[in-house]
């Protein structure tokens, strides 16, 4: 066999590079470790408001929550909390440009402080690492669902045997806030 050459070039998603990390819509790919990470910092306007303890408006909270782009639902447990906060603001009758109430402000502070934890999450790009397809047996897709009075969701995992060892990998998840019109838990789970 001839000598194989490996050409490991990074793909640059934008021209002005300050780091070795690639970034698309808040999702960060670290080609060195081949993992996905997440850029999670609240907008500057929200950071300034939180530091000065100034109450943001519902409009500002909504823009902050919707800034989290997570197409595969990998951050579902985090993003759903932000969406539940927005739904609570609708329930209170808060107008778009009115400052949010004290209880909602405390929830917003708690939610934004969790952003530092989100930045630590690393998801491997490859489901099963360096395992080759001829090493895999008994590939299964497992889907789990759950619901509460405030939210519902589902998650999908791959399960495979690689050389006799069982491996599991997160595929994707979806979560939604429960509708304002009250439904039973079994109905939400469906």
- Spatial contact of 118 and 40, defined as CB atoms under 8 Å apart: yes
Strands (E), 91-150: 123-124, 136-147
Q: What is the pLDDT of residues 30-42, one digit of tens each?
A: 888 888 888 777 7
- Give me the pLDDT at residue 50, please: 76
Q: Confirm if 151 and 80 have CB atoms less than 8 A apart.
A: yes
Q: What pLDDT does 17 receive?
A: 56
pLDDT of residue 80: 94
Place of tokens 């429960």: 178
pLDDT at 4: 46
Alpha carbons 167 and 160: distance in angstroms, whole number:
5
DSSP-assigned states of every residue in 42-111 = --HHHHHHHHHTPPPBHHHHHHHHHT---TT-TTHHHHHHHHHHHHHHHHHT--TTSBPPHHHHHHHHHH
Would you say 97 and 57 are in contact if contact means Cβ atoms under 8 Å apart? yes
How many CB atoms neighbour CB 37 within 10 A?
Answer: 19
User: What is the rounded average pLDDT for all residues in the chain?
Assistant: 83
Name the residue ranges covered by the structural domains of the chain.
Answer: 20-125, 131-190
Q: What is the pLDDT of residues 151-179, one digit of tens each?
A: 999 999 999 999 999 999 999 999 999 98
Q: Which helix (H) or strand (E) holds 170?
A: strand 165-177
The predicted pLDDT at position 3 comes to 44
Q: What single string gives the DSSP state of each residue in 23-38?
A: EETTEEEETTTTEEEE
Give every CB contact of residue 124 below 8 A, 6+ residues apart in sequence: 34, 35, 36, 169
Band (pLDDT 50/70/90 cuts) for residue 24 is: low
pLDDT of 6 strictly over 80: no
Dig out the tokens for 82 from the structure.
Answer: 């932000």
Q: Which residue has 């530092």 as its token pair? A: 116
């Amino acid at each position: 066999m001839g000598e194989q050459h490996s050409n490991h070039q990074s793909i640059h998603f934008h021209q002005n590079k300050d780091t070795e990390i690639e970034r698309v819509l808040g999702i960060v790919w670290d080609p060195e470790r081949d993992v996905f990470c997440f850029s999670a910092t609240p907008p500057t306007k929200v950071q300034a408001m939180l530091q000065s303890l100034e109450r943001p408006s519902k409009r500002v909270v909504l823009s902050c929550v919707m800034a989290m782009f997570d197409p595969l639902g990998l951050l579902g447990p985090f993003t759903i909390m932000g969406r539940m906060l927005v739904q609570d603001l609708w329930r209170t009758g808060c107008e778009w440009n009115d400052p949010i109430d004290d209880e909602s402000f405390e929830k917003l502070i708690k939610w934004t402080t969790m952003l530092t934890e989100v930045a630590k999450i690393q998801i491997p790009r490859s489901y099963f690492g360096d395992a080759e397809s001829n090493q895999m047996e008994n590939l299964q897709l497992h889907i789990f669902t759950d619901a509460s009075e405030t939210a519902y969701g589902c998650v999908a995992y791959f399960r495979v045997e690689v050389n006799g060892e069982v491996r599991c990998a997160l595929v994707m998840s979806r979560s939604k806030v429960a509708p304002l019109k009250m439904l039973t838990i079994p109905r939400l789970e469906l």
